[in-house]
């Protein structure tokens, strides 16, 4: 027991085993032996030791708790939960048991119950740092990132040497778009526990978000040396290779992850993105379906058969539901028209703020908001599954535009407000601010040089996030603002769509406004990062989804100077031609 307390576990375990060979009927020794084995990560013999202790002393609280912990190590979480519940029946006021029960529930993905269990533990023992840490993990999994941050920070305040919390905080800081802070948290975790598993993955993620893909790759490869059979580590390596535009190597890394874990949805999905970016649609669309198994995937709104393209549609009620972001909905809502042309009675269920704009698809398409009760249907299909169902190839992208239209009354209003003078260019420089937008957004200062092009008027299309970049006096950079009432209602993009009808050109980064302009058939130039989203493909200056679109690409990561130099040159030429 003295060796055990001193952390000399292997020596303690050997002595416990020798004592038990002489006297196997001492339940206290069985209990201590199980604890040492558990600390040595030898879960199966630990479970046997705890079971032996319980056979001798059925109401031993510590043995029930230890048995549950051993079952957790063996990934037998349902049995672990039963063991913790049996222990809690003996001692309902145990904060540590409530915490352990929360861990079993978290492993079972019963997240609201796990959260309740951690909060019960903290009500009993408010300074239990491990419960604050575990509560943070659940809140993070539930997407409640700010609440999770508060839990991690409380755990760190209570136990500054708790390396695991610093690592968890790093992962969260990446999700919050704070990669520099994540680097610092990783460094602290490694300072406290050199060689700690899992830190290299978070270091790699932070470095990727900072645009330092080569350094991220080095971290991921070090993680692979530590855990060569980790599917997640191979998947992470593939992500860094993707950022470096080494797509064939990225696919090979994802394939290795899949070989190690044939159910690893993230690896399949990431591989699909590589293939779609390369224009390999036939291979990419089926793998893209693995997005439905990722965390926070949109669930089908009805218990109806999924339409996969093989079932006839004529006369049948088809429910199409948006399953990704606003830009995706604007790009792929065109497929509702294709389904209607096959004879389906189509209901398109989208984000509530898009119902007004998407009503312009036509009277034959019923458009409803996702907050409404979904209608009865014969078949249903996720919006981003329609390219697969229709067998879309790169050569046969449905490119008929416009398929959306602005409201005539708003078009007339903005004609009067805008006037006809000069070459009118609408600009947008910032995405949503979510982690997925890292590297897509452009500093507003890059657009300032466009105002110097003779004959050009710059008009802001930016709403919400990104407006903080505006100078105190927008007129100082010759940028016109459409006013506070612009797209101010609950419906999105109605004013943007109307205003675009009177613009000679839209210039934007990769935002939903790029898709809106393309869907309206308006001239639009898109500034793209070095490795763009898959829908923009590689190399080409045009885009098969939008005939009125032109793409300007970074030659090197982060090179907005080169992009906007080319845009300025082409804009000056275009403005002279139209003068």
Q: What percent of the chain has pLDDT over 90?
A: 89
Tell whether the model's pLDDT for residue 578 goes beyond 80.
no
Same domain, 433 and 549: yes
Binned at pLDDT 50, 70 and 90, residue 476 comes out as low
Same domain, 332 and 369: yes
Closest CA relative to residue 551, chosen from 496, 522, 514, 501: 514
Q: Region 30-50: what's the mean pLDDT? A: 93
Q: Region 135-140: what's the mean pLDDT? A: 97
User: Is 239 part of a structural domain of the chain?
Assistant: no
Same domain, 554 and 431: yes
Same domain, 429 and 487: yes
String of DSSP letters for 416-452: HHH-S-SEEEEEE----SSGGGTTT---HHHHHHHHT
Model pLDDT for residues 510-553, shown as the tens digit of each residue: 999 999 999 999 999 999 999 999 999 999 999 999 999 999 99
Q: Region 497-513: what's the mean pLDDT? A: 96
Residue carrying the six token digits 């993230």: 266
Of 396, 428, 456, the last residue of a domain is 396
Of 376, 396, 416, the last residue of a domain is 396
Residue carrying the six token digits 């970016």: 277
Residues in a beta bridge with 459: 426, 480
CATH number at residue 502: 3.40.50.2000
Same domain, 348 and 463: no
pTM of the model: 0.87
Q: What was the pLDDT predicted at 551?
A: 98
Three-state DSSP class for 382? strand
Tell whether the model's pLDDT for residue 470 goes beyond 80.
no
Same domain, 472 and 561: yes
Tell whether the model's pLDDT for residue 473 goes beyond 70.
no
Angstrom CA distances, 207 to 164, 171, 214, 293, 453, stand at 20, 12, 9, 27, 37
DSSP-assigned letter for residue 210: T
Helix (H) or strand (E) holding 179: helix 179-192
Q: What was the pLDDT predicted at 407?
A: 97
* Sign of the CA dihedral running 130, 184, 153, 149: negative
Q: What was the pLDDT predicted at 475?
A: 66
Three-state DSSP class for 552? strand
Q: What percent of the chain has pLDDT over 70?
A: 98
Q: What was the pLDDT predicted at 329?
A: 98
Of 365, 396, 427, the last residue of a domain is 396
CATH number at residue 369: 3.40.50
Q: What was the pLDDT predicted at 293?
A: 95
Domain that holds residue 349: 317-396
Same domain, 425 and 522: yes
User: Is 107 part of a structural domain of the chain?
Assistant: no
Same domain, 531 and 438: yes
Q: Is the peptide bond before 342 cis (omega within 30 degrees of 0)?
A: no
Model pLDDT for residues 453-465, shown as the tens digit of each residue: 999 999 999 987 7
Q: What's the burial of 411, exposed, middle or buried (CB within 10 Å: 0-12/13-18/19+)?
A: middle
Same domain, 381 and 449: no
* Burial call 46-55: b when 16+ CB within 10 Å, e when fewer: bbbbbebbbe
Tell whether the model's pLDDT for residue 161 goes beyond 70.
yes
Give the total number of structural domains in the chain: 2
Q: What was the pLDDT predicted at 433?
A: 64
User: Is 351 part of a structural domain of the chain?
Assistant: yes
Residue carrying the six token digits 């510590």: 62
Model pLDDT for residues 146-158, shown as the tens digit of each residue: 999 999 999 999 9
Binned at pLDDT 50, 70 and 90, residue 579 comes out as low
Q: What was the pLDDT predicted at 548?
A: 98
Residues in a beta bridge with 367: 348
Q: Which residue has the higher pLDDT, 419 or 384?
A: 384
Same domain, 362 and 442: no
On whether the CB atoms of residues 362 and 407 are closer than 8 A, the answer is no
Instruction: Report phi then psi at 70, rounded to 5.
Output: -65, -40
Same domain, 383 and 422: no
User: Is 53 part of a structural domain of the chain?
Assistant: no
Same domain, 461 and 348: no
CA pair distance 262, 272, nearest whole angstrom: 15
User: Is 334 part of a structural domain of the chain?
Assistant: yes
């Amino acid at each position: 027991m003295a060796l055990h307390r001193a952390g000399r576990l292997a020596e303690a375990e050997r002595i416990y085993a020798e004592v038990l060979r002489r006297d196997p009927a001492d339940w206290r020794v069985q209990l201590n032996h199980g604890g040492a084995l558990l600390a040595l990560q030898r879960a199966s013999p630990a479970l046997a030791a705890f079971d032996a202790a319980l056979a001798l002393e059925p109401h031993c609280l510590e043995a029930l708790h230890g048995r549950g912990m051993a079952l957790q190590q063996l990934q037998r979480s349902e049995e672990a939960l039963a063991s913790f519940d049996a222990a809690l029946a003996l001692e309902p006021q145990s904060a540590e048991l409530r915490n352990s029960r929360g861990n079993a529930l978290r492993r079972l993905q019963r997240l609201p119950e796990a959260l309740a269990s951690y909060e019960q533990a903290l009500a009993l023992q408010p300074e239990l740092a491990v419960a604050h840490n575990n509560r943070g993990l659940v809140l993070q999994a539930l997407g409640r990132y700010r609440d999770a941050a508060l839990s991690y920070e409380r755990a760190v305040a209570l136990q500054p040497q708790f390396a695991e919390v610093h690592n968890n905080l790093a992962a969260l800081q990446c999700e919050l778009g704070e990669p520099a802070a994540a680097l610092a948290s990783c460094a602290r975790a490694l300072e406290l526990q050199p060689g700690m598993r899992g830190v290299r993955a978070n270091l790699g993620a932070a470095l990727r978000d900072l645009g330092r893909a080569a350094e991220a790759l080095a971290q991921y490869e070090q993680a692979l040396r530590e855990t060569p059979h980790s599917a997640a580590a191979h998947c992470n390596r593939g992500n860094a290779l993707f950022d470096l535009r080494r797509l064939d190597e990225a696919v090979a890394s994802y394939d290795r992850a899949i070989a190690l874990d044939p159910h690893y949805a993230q690896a399949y999905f990431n591989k699909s993105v590589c293939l779609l970016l390369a224009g390999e649609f036939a291979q990419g669309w089926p793998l893209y379906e693995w997005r439905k198994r990722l965390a926070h995937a949109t669930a089908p709104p009805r218990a109806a058969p999924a339409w996969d393209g093989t079932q006839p549609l004529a006369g049948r009620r088809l429910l199409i539901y948006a399953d990704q972001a606003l830009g995706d909905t604007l790009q792929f809502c065109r497929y509702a028209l294709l389904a209607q042309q096959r004879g389906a009675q189509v209901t398109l269920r989208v984000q509530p703020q898009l119902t007004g704009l998407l009503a312009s698809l036509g009277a034959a398409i019923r458009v409803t908001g996702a907050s409404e009760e979904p209608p009865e249907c014969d078949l249903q299909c996720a919006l981003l599954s329609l390219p697969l169902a229709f067998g879309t190839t790169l050569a046969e992208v449905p490119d008929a535009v416009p398929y959306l239209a602005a409201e005539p009354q708003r078009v007339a209003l903005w004609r009067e407000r805008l006037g006809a003078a000069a070459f009118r260019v609408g600009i947008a420089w910032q995405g949503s601010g979510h982690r997925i937008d890292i590297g897509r957004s452009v500093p507003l200062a890059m657009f300032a040089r466009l105002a110097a092009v003779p004959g050009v008027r710059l008009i802001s299309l930016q709403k919400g996030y990104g407006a903080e970049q505006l100078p105190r006096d927008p007129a100082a950079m010759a940028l016109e603002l459409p006013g506070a009432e612009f797209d101010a209602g609950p419906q999105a993009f109605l004013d943007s769509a109307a205003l675009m009808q009177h613009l000679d050109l839209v210039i934007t980064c990769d935002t939903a406004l790029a898709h809106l302009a393309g869907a309206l058939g308006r001239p639009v130039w898109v500034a793209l990062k070095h490795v763009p989203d898959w829908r923009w493909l590689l190399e080409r200056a045009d885009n098969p989804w939008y005939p009125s679109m032109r793409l300007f690409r970074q030659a090197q990561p982060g090179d907005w100077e080169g992009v906007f130099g080319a845009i300025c040159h082409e804009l000056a030429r275009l403005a002279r031609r139209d003068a």
